Amino acid sequence: QGSAGRCKRDYVLQVPMSSIPISLVPVAQTNLLAAGYSCGHIRVYSTERRELFADIAAHARPVSSLCASTVRPQIVSAGEDSVLSVWTIKEEEEGIKLDFSEPLDNTMVVGACYMGPGDQTLAVTAFDYDGVFVWHLPSSVAGAPEPKPAAAAAGTEAKEKS
């Protein structure tokens, strides 16, 4: 049989196994992959250089969820320590910046993702909880201008027409 329609493995990125990787996501606008680990660390790997780019002790317990923004080099992580965090990854500066962190008391976060226009909203699920938590990120975190209130936008349009 031929290999038409099959994926071909390009290379293997060596990942140290001192801890078990839980999830792996690509970082938008970069050549980086972010991995969440059972030890609570987030490690970012350069696919271009095929090496570790950054390693941070992100959570006190295992990383339970990791999701990447589709519009900016940012990830959201959740841990079994009941903390939700948003990180910006700066490839040119070789670093990771904590943008937002929120503890959810007595709640084990098991899933987190970006949603909505410009990935300005986070949706979060928790173990043994029958709802979804929703956060609207401030512009300083989401990297976009704050939307104008409806009344202010309507007043501006009225002034422009006159």
Q: Which residues of 123-158 are buried (b: 16+ CB within 10 A; e: fewer)?
A: bbbbeeeeeebebebeeebbbbeeeeeeeeeeeeee
Q: What is the pLDDT of residue 76?
A: 96
Dig out the tokens for 98 from the structure: 């904590």
pLDDT tens column, 81-136: 999 999 999 888 778 999 999 998 888 888 999 999 999 999 999 888 888 989 88
pLDDT tens column, 81-93: 999 999 999 888 7
The CB density around residue 111, as the number of other CB atoms within 10 Å, is 14
Q: What is the pLDDT of residue 135?
A: 86
User: Which amino acid, residue 65?
Assistant: S
Dist. CA 67–CA 119, nearest whole Å: 11
